[in-house]
Amino acid sequence: MHRVHWAFTALLGIGSFGFCYAGPIHAQCKVDWFFGIPCRVVYESLVSQIKKWTTSSCMAGGQRCLYKLQSASVHFITAKHTNPDKRHVEDINFRLVSYQFFASCHVTAMSISETWYAIKDHGTNYCNLYNLIEGSHLTQSRGYKEVTSEFLCTQRSTANCTVY
């Protein structure tokens, strides 16, 4: 019992250490997504969704516009997203890694605000990434799973991706 308690305390210690020293200065978001479909399909869905949303008219609502593809290979996609208010730009990237003999795909996605003072982002960095996954219907794909947290994504819990 004693040992279990010690381990728990140690874990808490590491947790708060991480929180104090690794807290984001720029608003940012890191999400892991798992799909039971090949990375090539995930890649094609994401790239075509980014291209669909390059328009500056945000008619589809919220922030589903003003994306710009920077580079794309089946393992790594980079893009920029500008907020409709034109003042905030986020750098986003997706790293795709196959597993289960190419039947499944693990995607690590990052979004970081370019402006250092954008510390409160109303979940924009999360929505930036999530909207692409949702818009391309990858949320409905076989084996879909999301792993993230409030710590990894600024203001994720209060994010409303219809707006942001």
Ligand X SMILES: *[C@@H]1O[C@H](CO)[C@@H](O)[C@H](O)[C@H]1NC(C)=O
Footprint of ligand X (CB under 6 A): 160, 162-163
Kindly tell me the number of DSSP H helices and DSSP E strands found in the chain: 3, 6
Write down the least CB distance from residue 71 to ligand X, Å. Answer: 32
Nearer to ligand X, 55 or 162 (CB): 162
Contact 63, 82 (CB under 8 A): no
Of the pair 100, 162, the CB lying nearest ligand X is at 162
Its sign, for the CA torsion 149, 80, 120, 117, is positive
Closer by beta carbon to ligand X, 44 or else 146 = 146
Residue at 50: amino acid letter: I
- 43 Rama class: left (phi>0) / alpha (psi -120 to 50) / beta: alpha
Is 29 or 159 the residue whose CB approaches ligand X more closely?
Answer: 159
Tell me how far, at minimum, the Cβ of 66 lies from ligand X, in Å.
19
Q: How far is the CB of 163 from ligand X (least distance, A)?
A: 5
At 49, which helix (H) or strand (E)?
helix 39-52
Q: Is 141 strand, coil or helix?
A: coil
Which residue sits closest to ligand X, CB atoms considered?
160
Beta carbon of residue 102, minimum distance to ligand X (angstroms, whole number): 37
